[in-house]
């Protein structure tokens, strides 16, 4: 395939050729001894501490060059920030041969990686800088970065905002938009905080299969693949629930997994075909306990990221302080539509949906119709953290029937800022009841519901060995990160979101 090169790219390749002819390595393999980072230098250097900064070594990417002839001012960006270099020709190349200066210093381009050794000082304009005594070219950039503007304080102006560029070329986005890196470091803070929270309480982190012979644990359309050696179809997991419950059967009291899941469905601002979910299952607990510990976790996460339980999300301030409101899904629908659907059958629900201009076809059973009614009329109304509880049994084929309310199950979904963040149950551990629920799902599949659950015979066999009373939860990590980092789209919290193949 031929490669079309811009004028800039042609010039950079010529520079690369000239470096090679002069014996200057543009991509050296040697270890480079970094001793300091930009932010560390800028925060710690002063007249009192300058003796500790007489011999520093940093490495990073060239972000700006101010050519004063025999003196250069270069801004270098490392993984922690940006710092200025003061570079004097006669100190870098004191000998008569100025080849290195001409090719490797005057020939520097924005985006090149360099290593710098020198001492720290403060310029006449008050900027903490490194007086370079030695510079090493570490990697030549052959493609120019998009041009952005920074003021004297390093603040970014005219940031690149084109999502097509940013999501497809995340590697460049991270370089030129520093706030993007902050979002992903906060994502790691969130995941580490959850892991610490669970580990401190005795939970065990585990791994379960991504390739599954039966895609169980959720109502979703799976991705299908084929195992050549076995000559059988396999599915990318849509959930890890049934495997984690098998471990509860096997004698573990509390297990969790950060699960990479795949669902062959639509893409929008809150859905990506590949996404991360935290699921945990705890023996001898129920959904009332789960609501309380979920509140504790959410409070802890808000404080870990923001230092407070009040979090700015768009134009709203959301309080993660417990306790959270609780309302049944049927009462939520009634509150927002004025209609009591609690005793309606499938035909009546379908008629209500049509009156409200909500999609309702003959493949949809009672559970899915109620789900659509709630999603279209009520979900977006719950801005502050709210537990939507006590779902109809038809909506929840893996959930224990309610201990006191006929026709309902012990389930909750946590809604925040109008979106589902978590889904939890008192788990169904009656194998006979579970088999009947699976068979009902199979009937829905026969009617054309491509999100209905498969019958998992091995999981039923596991339940027949006996599973203790258990509560489980699934928390959408990507949506949670969106919420806690104030990002409007799931693509902004995924390093490499799915996109259409690039044309050409």
- pLDDT, one tens digit per residue, over 70-104 is 899 999 999 999 999 999 988 988 665 688 888 88
For 210, 211, 413, 456, 457, the CA distances from 215, given in Å and listed in that order, are 10, 9, 22, 9, 12
Does the pLDDT of residue 1 top 50, yes or no? Answer: no
Q: Where in the chain is the domain with CATH 3.30.930.10?
A: 181-324+384-493
pLDDT of residue 448: 78
Radius of gyration (Cα) for the chain, nearest Å?
A: 29
pLDDT of residue 361: 84
Beta bridge partners of 134: 117
State the DSSP code for 399.
B
pLDDT digits (tens, 9 = 90+) for 467-477: 999 999 999 99
CA–CA dist 275, 256 (Å, integer)? 16
Neighbours of 348 (CB within 10 A): 13
Beta bridge partners of 387: 326, 414
Q: Which of 105, 478, 485, 75 is nearest to 268 (CA)?
A: 478
Which residues have a Cβ under 8 Å from the Cβ of 271 and sit 6 or more positions away? Answer: 265, 490
pLDDT digits (tens, 9 = 90+) for 260-284: 999 999 889 889 999 999 999 999 9
pLDDT greater at residue 70 or residue 158: 70
pLDDT digits (tens, 9 = 90+) for 208-218: 999 999 888 88
CA–CA dist 298, 179 (Å, integer)? 24
pLDDT digits (tens, 9 = 90+) for 99-134: 888 888 899 999 999 999 999 999 999 999 999 999
Q: Where in the chain is the domain with CATH 2.40.50.140?
A: 7-145
Neighbours of 64 (CB within 10 A): 15
CA–CA dist 216, 206 (Å, integer)? 18
Is there a contact between 107 and 98 (Cβ–Cβ < 8 Å)? no
Can you tell me the mean pLDDT for 289-305? 98
Does the pLDDT of residue 157 top 60, yes or no? Answer: no
pLDDT greater at residue 13 or residue 368: 13
Domain 7-145 has CATH 2.40.50.140: yes
State the DSSP code for 395.
G
Q: Which of 473, 483, 481 is nearest to 417 (CA)?
A: 483
The reported pTM is 0.89
CA 153 to chain centre: 30
Is there a contact between 210 and 260 (Cβ–Cβ < 8 Å)? yes
pLDDT of residue 120: 98
Q: What percent of the chain has pLDDT over 90?
A: 77
Neighbours of 368 (CB within 10 A): 21
Least confident of 105-119, 262-276, 401-415, 448-462: 448-462
State yes or no: 420 annotated in a binding site.
Answer: yes
* CATH domain 181-324+384-493 topology: BirA Bifunctional Protein; domain 2 (3.30.930)
State the SS3 of 108-130: CCCCCEEEEEEEEEECCCCCEEE
Beta-strand ranges (E) seen in 230-348 are: 232-236, 254-262, 274-283, 310-313, 316-319, 325-328
Mean pLDDT of all residues in the chain?
92
**Core vs surface per residue 65-104: b (16+ CB within 10 A) or e:** beeeeeebbbbbbbebbbbbbbbebeebbeeeeeebbebb
State yes or no: 446 annotated in a binding site.
Answer: no
pLDDT greater at residue 456 or residue 462: 462
Strands 56-67 and 310-313: unpaired
Which residues have a Cβ under 8 Å from the Cβ of 479 and sit 6 or more positions away? Answer: 270, 419, 420, 421, 490
Q: Which of 306, 327, 303 is nearest to 384 (CA)?
A: 327
Q: What percent of the chain has pLDDT over 70?
A: 96
421 CB-side CA count, 13 A: 23
């Amino acid at each position: 395939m031929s490669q079309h090169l811009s004028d800039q790219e042609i010039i950079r390749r010529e520079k690369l050729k000239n470096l090679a002819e002069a014996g200057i390595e543009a991509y050296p393999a040697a270890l480079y001894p970094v001793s300091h980072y930009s932010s560390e230098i800028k925060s710690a250097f002063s007249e009192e501490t300058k003796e500790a900064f007489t011999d520093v070594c940093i490495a990073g990417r060239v972000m700006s060059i101010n050519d004063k002839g025999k003196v250069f001012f270069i801004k270098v960006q490392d993984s922690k920030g940006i710092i200025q270099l003061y570079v004097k020709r006669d100190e870098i190349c004191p000998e008569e041969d100025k080849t290195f200066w001409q090719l490797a210093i005057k020939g520097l381009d924005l985006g090149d990686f360099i290593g710098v050794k020198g001492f720290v000082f403060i310029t006449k304009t008050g900027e903490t800088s490194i007086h370079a005594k030695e510079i090493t070219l570490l990697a030549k950039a052959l493609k120019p970065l998009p041009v952005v503007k920074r003021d004297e304080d390093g603040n970014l102006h005219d940031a690149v905002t084109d999502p097509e560029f940013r999501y497809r070329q995340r590697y460049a986005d991270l370089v030129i938009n520093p706030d993007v890196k902050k979002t992903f470091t906060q994502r790691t803070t969130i995941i580490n905080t959850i892991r610490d929270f669970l580990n401190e309480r005795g939970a065990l982190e585990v791994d379960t299969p991504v390739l599954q012979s039966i895609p169980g644990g959720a109502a979703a359309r799976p991705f299908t693949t084929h195992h050549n050696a076995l000559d059988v179809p396999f599915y990318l997991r849509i959930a890890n629930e049934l495997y984690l419950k098998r471990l509860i059967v096997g004698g573990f009291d509390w297990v969790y997994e950060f699960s990479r899941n795949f669902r062959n469905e639509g893409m929008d601002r809150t859905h990506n075909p590949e996404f991360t979910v935290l699921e945990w299952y705890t023996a001898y607990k129920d959904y009332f306990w789960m609501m309380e510990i979920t509140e504790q976790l959410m409070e802890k996460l808000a404080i870990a990221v923001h230092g407070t339980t009040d979090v700015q999300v768009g134009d709203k301030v959301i309080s993660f302080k417990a306790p959270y409101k609780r309302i049944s899904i049927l009462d939520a629908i009634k509150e927002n539509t004025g209609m009591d659907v609690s005793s309606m059958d499938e035909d009546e629900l379908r008629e209500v949906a049509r009156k409200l201009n909500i999609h309702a076809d003959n493949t949809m059973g009672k559970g899915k119709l109620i789900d659509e009614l709630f999603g279209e009329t009520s979900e977006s109304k719950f801005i502050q953290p709210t537990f939507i509880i006590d779902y109809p049994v038809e909506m929840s084929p893996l959930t224990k029937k309610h201990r006191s309310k006929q026709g309902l199950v012990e389930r909750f979904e946590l809604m925040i800022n109008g979106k589902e963040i978590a889904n939890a149950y008192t788990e169904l551990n009656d194998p006979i009841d579970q088999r009947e629920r699976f068979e009902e799902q199979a009937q829905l599949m026969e009617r054309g519901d491509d999100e209905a659950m498969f019958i998992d015979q091995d999981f039923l066999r596991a339940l027949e060995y006996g599973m203790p009373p258990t509560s489980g939860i699934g928390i959408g990590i990507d949506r949670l990160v969106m919420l806690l980092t104030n990002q409007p789209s799931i693509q902004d919290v995924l390093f490499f979101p799915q996109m259409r193949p690039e044309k050409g």
